[in-house]
Each structure stands twice: as C-alpha cells, then as structure tokens.
Chains A and B, each alone.
Chain A
C-alpha cells in the first residue's frame, strides 16, 4: 500500500539523515526517484520551493513528495515518517545526554559521519549541476550552458555577500523568465 511505503521510506530517510536537509538529497534520489515517485527535475524544484517556505527543509521536502505521490494522506505519512525517528531517538537520548555527548562511541561515529555528509552533499551538487546543464545542452545548446554558468557565479557571489536566499531565489525566477524569452 502506497501509504505504508511512503511512511517506511521516509522513516528510513529520517533515520539516516545527518547534517541537515541537503544531505538528504542523495538519500531521496536513491529511495524516491528509484521508486519512480519523482524525477530529478521535480526534486530540485521541490527543494527550491522548500527553501522559500518556512519550516525545516528536510520536513518540507518530505511533505512535498508525499503529497505529490498520494495526496494529503500521503503527505501525512511521509511527514510523520521523517519526523518519527528524530523524535524517538531524542527521547531515548534525552535522559542521558551528558553521557551521550561524552561517549567515545558517539564521538568516533561523528568524526566519520561528518565526513560522509560532505561527500553526500558534494555528490548532490554534481548530480544537480549535471542535470541542469545537460538539459540545457539537449534543448538549447551551449549558449544556455554558458549563460547558466554565468548566472551560477553571480548567485554564488550574491549569497556570499549574505543576501537573503529567498530574495536570490525570487530574483532567479524573474531572471529565468527574462533570459529564456531572449534565447
């Protein structure tokens, strides 16, 4: 049943997500895209919307996928699934968090896991860039790739200057409309 599948998949994703919503992307790519619930484009679009709406990215993306796949009930299942592991583990740890924090086992695992997060996000960056630019090549050729790359550099600079990400996203939407109508 799709509802149980959604819950189970997002429970797994919630259980294995370290380091925030973006580290979740390769997990979602493998679990969700592999199930045919979503395409790569749609995932990136969901992330864009989730970055622009309030609430944690990880939860928003989960809700979005669940709702797209199976309506409001699907959204409830995926959201509940992704939140539940956090909730349970925190309650388990809360009673002994001082011991938990000082535990060598936890420290050891974290040194490794923080490395994994870097690798996973790097992988998400490469696959996203690949998707965006290969699509450009297929539809409009290299001109669009060059312009897109230029936009990317501008956005990076603007973000580095601490402009609010939401403003950047909205500006990019407007720029997208303008640029595409000129190409």
Chain B
C-alpha cells in the first residue's frame, strides 16, 4: 500500500513541476524512480519511453501509466496516472475560470497578440524537431505531404488520415518486406 501512495506522490511532484511536455518529465522520473527509490533500472525507462512513443496519447500519460504498472500493477498505474494529472488539472481549472473575465481587457488582449506569435515560434521549433525524428523513408515523406494537404487544405478529418496512414504503413511493410 505504501508503494502505491509513494507512486502517487512521486508522480504528483513530477506532474506539478514538469513544464514543456512529456519528454521533459523523463529526467525527473529517472531521478525519482531509478536513482532515489530504485524501483526500476535505466533500461526499464528506455523500454517504457519506446513504448510510450509508439502508442497513442500524450507521452507523459503513457510514461506515467506504464511506470506505475511496472512497479505495482494496475493499482500502481492508477496511482501514477492520477498523480501526474491532478496538479495541472487544478491549475488549469483555476486559470480557465478566470480566463473569460480577463480576456476582455485591452491590455491583456495586446499581451496575447505577442504571446500568439511566440506560440507560433514554439510550434515551428517543434515542427523542426519532429521532422528530425521522422524516419528518412519515402513512405514517411509521402504520408507527411498527403496529411498536410488533406488536413490543411481540404480539411479532411485528421482522424481518418491517421487511421488510413496506420493501415497504409502496415500494408506497405507486409508487401515490401523489410521497412
């Protein structure tokens, strides 16, 4: 039982102090789970990250759930997932309730004009990072262009594009043998 509580509080800390998404969480998880508590090894963490990247959903959640499961089964998974979600949930709810009230202020609107541009910059940076991680294979490039055109220009449902792309990838791999 104490393991479960420990998991919850460890991931609560991680969730409360991680800025910038799932990958930023990993050093914290290594420190808490591998070094401090010795629940898992570094290799375990690498496995977890590989799976987290291959499954749908936010990386942070995938990593938290998997780590919790590896340490203490389903109960552990629930503890770690709840822990990582609750702090940001509370903060966002508070901000959200104030949001509409303050957005009508001219100064805040001006500030957000500037902020939108910095968010655009962040998105461009993320795009470049993700592009670097993209497999250097013809299939990936073709799918990237098709997805961009289909969703960006023709507003075809992104869900459909994703499902189709997964199927295409699987089929192509079976036909072409080694990918």
Contact = CB atoms under 8 A, between A and B. Distances in A.
B127 A111 contact: no
Contacts of A22: 123, 126-127
Interface residues of B, number: 98
Contacts of B27: none
A111 B88 contact: no
Nearest to A56: B60
Contacts, number: 365
Nearest to B55: A89
A165 B162 CA distance: 29
B88 A59 contact: yes
A1 interface: no
A45 B170 contact: no
B57 A14 contact: yes
A165 B20 contact: yes
Contact of B51 (A101, A122, A125, A169): A101
Given A14-B56, A67-B96, A115-B141, A48 B173 contact: no
A100 B93 CA distance: 37
A56 B121 contact: no
Chain A, interface residues (CB within 8 Å), range:
35 or more
B1 interface: no
Contacts of A124: 123
Interface string B61-78: 110011001100010010
Contacts of A17: 56-58
A130 B147 CA distance: 18
Given A90-B62, A116-B143, A30 B157 contact: yes
A67 B92 contact: yes
User: Main SS of the interface on chain A?
Assistant: helix
A30 B110 contact: no
A8 interface: no
Contact of B58 (A20, A156, A159): A20
A83 B78 CA distance: 11
Contacts of B137: 111
Nearest to A27: B158
A18 B10 CA distance: 26
A166 B179 contact: no
A120 B130 CA distance: 11
Contact of A172 (B16, B93, B115): B115
A169 B115 contact: yes
A81 to B, nearest CB: 11
Contacts of A18: 56, 162
15 contacts: A16-B56, A47-B119, A51-B119, A56-B61, A58-B58, A58-B61, A59-B58, A59-B85, A94-B69, A100-B51, A109-B167, A111-B173, A118-B130, A156-B125, A160-B125
Interface of A: 12, 14-23, 25-27, 30, 41, 44-45, 47-60, 63-64, 67-68, 72, 75, 79, 82-83, 85-87, 89-91, 93-94, 97-98, 100-101, 104-129, 132, 148, 151-152, 155-156, 159-160, 165-166, 168-169, 171-177, 179-181
List the 9 shortest-distance A-B pairs measured between CB atoms, nearest first. A176-B114, A55-B88, A108-B173, A112-B169, A86-B57, A119-B147, A123-B152, A115-B140, A172-B118
